[in-house]
Chains A and B, each alone.
Chain A
Amino acid sequence: MPEPRVISFREALREAMVEEMERDPSIFLMGEEVGHYNGAYKVSEGMLERFGERRVIDTPIAETGFAGVGIGAAMVGLRPIIEFMTWNFSLTAIDQLINNAAKLRYMANGQFTLPIVFRGPGGAAHALAAQHSQALEGFYAHVPGLKVVMPSTPADAKGLLKAAIRDDNPVCFIESEVMYALKGEVPTGEHVIPLGVADVKRPGRDVTLVTWSKMLHTSLKAAEQLATDGIEAEVVDVRTVRPLDAGAILASVRRTHRCVVVQEGWPFAGVGAEVVALVARDAFEDLDAPPERVTSLDVPMPYARNLEELVLPSPARVVATVRRLLGAEERRVGAPVHPARAQRGR
């Protein structure tokens, strides 16, 4: 086993890119300020020096242009990593991702593979206001043909990015501005985490918190607080929003009988709705309470710090939601017992 050391999230991402680029000359990194500026968030620091201008390519501010160039390059067998300075800017290139990257293989009946990674930070940072504070995974996860990866720890960031680069499909790899400095143990060298495999970040018996990316940390904090009251939350980090590890989510919910999705995105038609539908359909008999969601409020992100805090999911809101679910269970005392629950002897 490679020996782990403590490095930051951004270093873990860089390590993944550097190792993969050393392994495979068809991989290149392209985006705004990835080269001479060393990356807006310093993820690509030093990579220009290491690989030169041929493989670490600064672009103008032209997301549609360079996203499309990446797709064309992937059509002829290169493996581009396209960095969006933030995923908010990807919206100007969304036609490239949804109409071109996602659909090419299908429209051409399998004649092309498109090994391309689009990566960069998503979600809110601090006080960046409505146009720079959006969790867009739901947009991209909606589209067949795309994969959506959202790591929460430095180790996952490295392992998942290596897997994304090796994947033969277009992958949206969404990081977080506020997590780049986060430190954690990361294995050296070959450390690849398959896409579509969730990870139980904290075991528990009373409720399943389904989450990803930055919201993992919100969920873990909530779980700690709940534990002081004797409520044990199991925290399932899906890691890949699409493909979604339905098996891991269902297995956990079948143990805990309660499910709360914690997501940064808006509630309406978001990823959480998909998880809730999954659980309601496939674990209905196992549920002791309706599946719930903790999401951002259904508003564009306000600038003022106090309002921003209000909009984003917090540990307190997760705790309150879990308590409400458990309370609802208590309030049902005396009501007729569902046969499935009676069978379980509860």
Chain B
Amino acid sequence: MDATLLLDLYRQMCLSRRFEEAAAKAYSQGKVSGFLHLYIGQEAVAVGAISAAEPTDYIVATYREHAHYLARTGDARGAMAELYGCATGCSGGRGGSMHLFAAAKRFFGGWAIVGGHVPIAAGVAFGSKYRGEPDVTLCFFGDGTANMGAFHEGLALAGLWKLPVVFICENNQYAMGTPLYRTLSVEDVAVRARGYPMEAEIVNGDDVLEMREAVRHAISRARKDSLPFFLEAKTYRFRGHSVADPAKYRTKEEVQKWMERDPIGILAGRIRTLGIATDEQLRAVDDEAKAQVQDAVRFAEESPAPAPETVEEHVYA
């Protein structure tokens, strides 16, 4: 096992966790507005998946995308400033939590209508194929997406045209506040993908290394054979759908059971078992993440709001 890699994955997951804890705090203080969808509990999916991609591969994600953005860019300042609605935010304060973008880093959003970005991800992959470029597109979405028309049309075209895209379904078992057994006619979303057709695998989304390996395999298939690939990561979100959701539709016992398999704890355990780092060293990594988040909060609090005279900029090119 590559010690540097494991510690870096650990650092990234801590960064995402600490970032979102700070974001929730800022929200409760009224400094962050709008919708805020926390990813806490699912960090292994984004961190593992994006660590398996080349920096030139494209990322297309949803409105629950802080972790994906951080995993691709490392830019906690730009993300936090965006949540604060600042000119220095990664979308200039025009997007907010749900619309993080970093075009230069090939982080392509930040889309907030469920399913709408799935055909777009197929289109980005179409672009790579059209130009004969080797880049693969990673498309993230939740289990709730699996009933949307756009999801099926996106998968249908990716299957038909053999587009180099890896679809990553983050199955956290709740479509907003409704459990899957009441919203999904099949047990696994992956069975739907197989009909389009594309290879589909189910992976433990709480294990960052398993996630990384699965995505590595999927990306290599997509890149080498120009074929779409579907991964269903089984995971759990510890918080509500958004911070406005107290998540009363779940029992304490259920949440507790899942929190016992916290993806950050799982990785920490593995690192300890392998003797790569001590508790103290892991704490230092976490402290580093905390410091980066504190710096990002400070940056956001000191950043200016977007200048009023810019309100009409960027409607048209």
Contacts and interface: CB of A to CB of B under 8 A. Distances in A.
Contacts of B122: 65, 68-69, 72
A109 B95 contact: yes
B279 to A, nearest CB: 41
A38 interface: no
B219 interface: no
B94 A75 contact: no
Contacts of A78: 127, 130-131
A146 B99 CA distance: 19
Interface string B6-37: 00000000000000000000000000000000
A105 B317 contact: yes
Interface in B75-122: 91-95, 99, 101-104, 108-111, 113, 116-122
B149 interface: yes
A168 interface: yes
B159 to A, nearest CB: 11
A159 interface: no
Interface stretch (A93-101, A212-220, A230-238): A93-101
A85 to B, nearest CB: 16
Contact of B91 (A72, A74, A109): A109
Contacts of A112: 101, 103
A59 interface: yes
Contacts of A75: 108, 120, 123-124, 127
B313 interface: yes
Given A64-B119, A95-B150, 8 more contacts: A72-B120, A73-B124, A73-B127, A99-B113, A100-B111, A107-B109, A108-B91, A145-B315
A169 interface: yes
B160 interface: yes
Contacts of A95: 113, 116, 150
B125 interface: yes
A66 B157 contact: yes
A344 interface: no
A73 B154 contact: no
Interface of B: 58, 60, 91-95, 99, 101-104, 108-111, 113, 116-128, 130-131, 137, 149-150, 153-154, 156-157, 160, 313-317
A267 interface: no
Nearest to A54: B130
Contacts of A68: 116-120, 122-123, 150, 153-154
A164 B127 CA distance: 20
A109 B118 contact: no
A70 interface: yes
Contacts of A113: 317
Given A54-B130, A68-B116, A68-B119, A110 B313 contact: yes
Given A62-B156, A107-B94, A76 B317 contact: no
Interface in A52-93: 54, 59-60, 62, 64-78, 92
A169 B316 CA distance: 6
14 contacts: A60-B157, A62-B157, A64-B119, A68-B118, A68-B122, A69-B122, A72-B137, A75-B124, A107-B109, A108-B110, A108-B314, A109-B101, A110-B313, A111-B104
Contacts of A62: 153, 156-157
B153 A64 contact: yes
A111 B124 CA distance: 16
A144 interface: yes
A20 B118 CA distance: 29
* Most A CB within 10 A of own CB, among B119, B154, B313, B315: B119
Contact of B99 (A66, A71, A107, A114): A107
B116 A96 contact: yes
A28 interface: yes
Nearest to B58: A76
Interface string A132-165: 0000000000001101000000000000000000
A109 B91 CA distance: 5
Given A72-B121, A72-B125, A100-B111, A107 B91 contact: yes
Contacts of A303: none
B123 A108 contact: no
Given A60-B160, A108-B103, A113-B317, A69 B123 contact: yes
Nearest to B112: A99
Contacts of B157: 59-60, 62, 65-66, 69
A10 B297 CA distance: 58
A106 interface: yes
Contact of B123 (A71, A105, A109, A111): A71
Interface in A201-254: none
A168 B58 CA distance: 22
A71 B120 contact: yes
B126 A107 contact: no
Contacts of B92: 109-110
Contacts of B91: 107-109, 111
A108 B102 CA distance: 8
Nearest to A145: B315
A3 B153 CA distance: 45
Contacts of B120: 68-69, 71-72, 75, 96, 100
